[in-house]
Amino acid sequence: MRVVLLGPPGAGKGTQATLLCQRFGLAHISTGEILRSAIKEGSPLGKEVAPILAAGSLVPDALVIELIRERLMKDDCLKGFVLDGFPRTVEQAKALALLLSEIEKPITNVVEVRVDDAVLIDRIVKRGQEGSGRSDDTHEVVARRLEVYRAQTAPVTAYYESVSEVQVVDGLGEVAEIHRRICDLVEPELAD
């Protein structure tokens, strides 16, 4: 199973990706996590992207596409993976399709987690107050992240709708319940 999890910041993609990976033994690939660990390490990449993350903007496509290309070559991806936070632009989605077609391992499921804006802002700000340690979990930056999502990432859903199917899941409710909803959607495809 090779899953793309779509949805705005705060939709619960990270939590749901973790559960899905545990359940099906998949690799969890979060570009946000990769970038945050580069920042923590203080690597040249980290230094380059830190101000971009703090501002709630997107890092350049070429940079994240290269990170994903390297990540997808690791052995743990052979059993399948969940992409969380990538692709975030149509350019990234097209690059991903190309990368995966080269290894003949196309995406099997595109799942969109839907949540109202008001809930998102609340969730993210709370996450920041409860010590997520993320420089972008603040009121000011959340507004910018949602704006970036609408302008640059929402078209990714339209892109996938035009080339395949997008499975929509209601992201409101208990974590376990949302996990069950996602499993109900993706499990029929397990034979792949």
Where along the sequence are the contacts to ligand AMP (CB under 6 A)? 9, 31-32, 35, 52-53, 56-59, 64, 85-86, 88, 92, 136, 145
Q: Which of 13, 36, 71, 181 is catalytic?
A: 13
Q: Which of 69, 114, 134, 180 is catalytic?
A: 134
The SS3 assignment for 39 reads helix
Q: Is 74 a catalytic residue?
A: no
Is the Cβ of residue 27 or residue 64 nearer to ligand AMP in the bound state?
Answer: 64
Q: Is 134 a catalytic residue?
A: yes
Is the Cβ of residue 18 or residue 57 nearer to ligand AMP in the bound state?
Answer: 57
State the minimum distance, in angstroms, from the CB of residue 188 to ligand AMP: 27
Q: Do residues 124 and 9 lie in contact, with contact meaning Cβ atoms separated by under 8 Å?
A: yes
Q: Is 114 a catalytic residue?
A: no
The SS3 assignment for 111 reads strand
22: Cα separation from own chain's centroid = 16
Residue with smallest beta-carbon separation from ligand AMP: 32
* E strand segments, the chain: 2-6, 27-30, 81-84, 109-114, 167-170
Q: Do residues 39 and 117 lie in contact, with contact meaning Cβ atoms separated by under 8 Å?
A: no
Is the Cβ of residue 56 or residue 80 nearer to ligand AMP in the bound state?
Answer: 56
Give the C-alpha separation, 25 to 111, whole Å: 18
Q: Is 40 a catalytic residue?
A: no
Residues marked active site are found at 13, 88, 127, 134, 145
